[in-house]
Structure 1
Amino acid sequence: MIIDPQQVPTERNTNYPEEFKALVAGRIRQRLGNFAGLKNFGVNLVKLEPGSYSALRHWHSHQDELIYVLEGELTLITDAGAEILTPGIAAGFPAGEANGHHLVNRSSSVAIYLEIGDRTPNDQVTFPDIKNFLTAASPDGKSRKFIHHDGTPY
């Protein structure tokens, strides 16, 4: 299936709890993988406005992730610190590697990147900067809920 990104809806929504929504308010995604009907992995074309985060810093128990910068400058923040990513640079995050990561647009221009991840069921996402906060995916991998480490709802 050929995909014209101009035909793919944009979305700014997030399922983060209210107190974290402003951090990702400048993230505009187009779900190319969903548009194409892909079932095993997702591909998002993401525009990140200045000052915005791609996500809260996190790592996945079961899902792999890869990002590829197309335009602009992004700061990748991991447990090792901050690194500048420019067009043509990619970064991968293997499942189960407890290295929290996210992108921040610290520049004055919109940055664009591809975000690719698999849809392995039973994934758990850990947020190392937020005490007692994580997500658990449904067994089918299609939905997530935010919970405390003890399993109670956030």
Structure 2
Amino acid sequence: MNDQDISIAVVATQVASRTKPSNYPEPFASRMAGREKRPLGDLFGLSNFGVNLTKLLPGAGSALRHAHSKQDEFIYILHGHPMLVTDAGETQLSPGMCAGFKAGTGNAHQLLNRTGEEVHYLEVGDRSAGDSAVYPDDDLQADLLDGKWRFAHKDGSPY
């Protein structure tokens, strides 16, 4: 990306969605049906953190429940009422609410849309090199190597 490719300002809802809905291997990728991410930070050449405008259709989830070793994450609810699921339990969220997930705590989290309306939220995460993620509910672990996620079973064998 060069300076001529970088936008000054955009209408977030008009930014193209990711072409690949999920980086997870199967059988996990198909569980992300109904989730749409618009990568906003990339348009501006941001390299220290990413920003996505994410939409969850009824019944969809934000991700598998996960925790990062080095990446802090933050969400801000714009529309709808998702359920935040963490190690501490479930918390109903509403527009204007936000939540943050500090890296290294092991507190796994995800959003679930259990309502009949769409959920829209902003998600922000840093791009810390050497990050890894654990998925306590699934036979999955991930390591960020050379800017790409590498997935494996919990025993270390690759997908």
Whether the TM-score (by the shorter chain) exceeds 0.5 is yes
Structure 1 pair 53–120 and aligned structure 2 pair: CA distance change class (3 A): same
Q: Distance in 2 between matches of 1:120 and 1:6?
A: 27
Q: Distance in 1 between matches of 2:137 and 2:49?
A: 27
**SS of 2:29 mapped into structure 1:** helix
The corresponding residue for 1:152 is 157
State whether structure 2 residue 34 is matched by structure 1 residue 26. Answer: yes
Opposite residue 12 of structure 2, the aligned amino acid is P
The corresponding residue for 2:4 is none
**Alpha-carbon offset, residue 150 of structure 1:** 4.0
Q: Distance in 1 between matches of 2:70 and 2:13?
A: 32
The corresponding residue for 1:14 is 22
Opposite residue 156 of structure 2, the aligned amino acid is G
The corresponding residue for 2:148 is 143
TM-score (norm: length of structure 2): 0.90
**SS of 2:27 mapped into structure 1:** helix
Choose which of 100, 114, 119 in structure 2 pairs with 1:92.
100
State whether structure 2 residue 17 is matched by structure 1 residue 3. Answer: no
**SS of 2:47 mapped into structure 1:** coil
**SS of 1:9 mapped into structure 2:** coil
RMSD: 1.3
Structure 1 pair 6–108 and aligned structure 2 pair: CA distance change class (3 A): closer
Which segments of 5 or more consecutive residues in structure 2 lack a partner in the other structure?
Answer: 1-7
Choose which of 65, 71, 78 in structure 1 pairs with 2:79.
71
Aligned residue pair count? 151
